[in-house]
Amino acid sequence: MTDILMPALSPTMEEGVLAKWHVKVGDVVSAGDVIAEIETDKATMEVEAVDEGEVTDILVPEGTENVKVNTPIARLKDEGGAAAPKPAAKTEGAPKAEAAPAKAEVPKAAAPAAPKSENGERIFASPLARRIAAQNGVELKSIKGTGPHGRIVKRDVEGAPQTAGKGAAQPAAASTGSAAAATSGIEPRKAQSLAQMGIPDGSYDLIPLDGMRKAVARRMVDSIQNVPHFPLFIDVEIDQLMAVRAKVNKMLEPQGIKVSVNDFVIKAAALALKAVPEANASYTPEGIAMHHNADVSMAVAIDGGLITPIIRKAETKGLAQIATESKDLAKRARERKLKPEEFQGGTFSVSNLGMFGIKQFTSIINEPQGCIMSVGAGEQRAVVKDGQVVAATVMTVTLTCDHRVVDGATGARFLQAFKPLIEDPVAMLA
């Protein structure tokens, strides 16, 4: 007999949601067969079998949350081997996990704070569905799920009527949030401190943190506390870039490819990193890691947090390829379908809020990268050229540097290499 364990799908993963089983008891699997889907704090990924044999037990029902890494989730009888006797409880539990997960006995790995129906049975719902329900004051026990095995999903809670008036719903939300806080690593006193600061209990809804939000919070706090960082600001004119972009998109229109300003920024940043390799570096206790390629991470806002998929070897790729890859990565990031290697291991980050009209901002460094670039909106500004005041489309770019790796002079040289590439982008088309 072989236990199938909850896999660690990334170096930082400690637990996940067993979202879906693709096998059932009695199925025979081969190495490489997809047997389950796991939701982590960043993505939903498929799990492949590493051994051959017959599935004899499903130990963790689909929809179970907070399943710790290396927890047995199923059992496999080796091909040609004999199955060990099954304990009575597991013999009864496995079929129930397939037929009606909501009634299955939930193992200790499941989150104690998960919502329950009036008879005490656990209600299975996706993290997104629970979050929307909490925001809208909807009680999950009043909803019939249409997802796999009756699981409540996003479409079930969107537009669902509130089950209680605002006055009644708020204390319930706060109470649920406190219970979730106790099991999600948030100390209850953190929520209670709002009352100590003059915000009374019941005057707010407390939305429990999901895995992604907790991971983002942890990484950002670590970065801002541990990385000595400083910003450098520069203005770049993008009138020529906009003109070149229009021509390039007209040429690529038959192929269905549209290049964005951010694609130009990624390409220019990659070329600048190759011109100033000292900026393409990471701090380690053993020394400064000088990266061979410009693997540019691009910040993508998704429901519940942020993720940074990577354009690998961006310095070697044309604008059309970067545009195609960035569009695909952003789409799959929002669907949480990225593989770990697609969002881990970048050497430099680009965060663009220009599409929201943000003029200028400073980003927090994405460790262990040495720099992150923040891109603001292009806008018409008055500039002086040859002694004359004229209008130009100007974009403010901020480079946040890890001072252990990139000092002021190195950061300035990088921006000096970046600026002409953006202002005269024809060089990037070669």
Q: Indicate which residues carry an active-site annotation.
A: 403
Cα separations in angstroms, 365 against 101, 181, 308: 42, 28, 12
> Within 13 A of 260's CA, how many CA atoms are on the CB side?
16
Asked if 276 and 290 count as a contact pair (C-beta separation under 8 A), the reply is: no
- Other CB atoms closer than 10 Å to residue 283's CB: what's the count? 19
Question: How many angstroms separate the CA atoms of 169 and 374, rounded?
Answer: 40
Question: How many angstroms separate the CA atoms of 313 and 316, rounded?
Answer: 6
Q: Which amino acid is at 366?
A: N
Single out the residue of 130, 135, 403, 100 nearest to residue 279, CA to CA: 403
- Other CB atoms closer than 10 Å to residue 277's CB: what's the count? 14
Asked if 256 and 249 count as a contact pair (C-beta separation under 8 A), the reply is: no
Question: How many angstroms separate the CA atoms of 93 and 97, rounded?
Answer: 6
**Which tokens hold the place of 299?**
């910040």
- Residue for token digits 């410009």? 294
Element (H, E) at 65: strand 64-68
The full DSSP string for 144-171 is ---SGGG-B-HHHHTTPPPSS-HHHHHH
> Within 13 A of 222's CA, how many CA atoms are on the CB side?
9
Asked if 252 and 318 count as a contact pair (C-beta separation under 8 A), the reply is: no
Angle at 132 between CA 299 and CA 139, to 5 degrees: 160
- Give yes or no for a cis peptide into 285 (omega within 30° of 0): no
Question: How many angstroms separate the CA atoms of 406 and 391, rounded?
Answer: 34
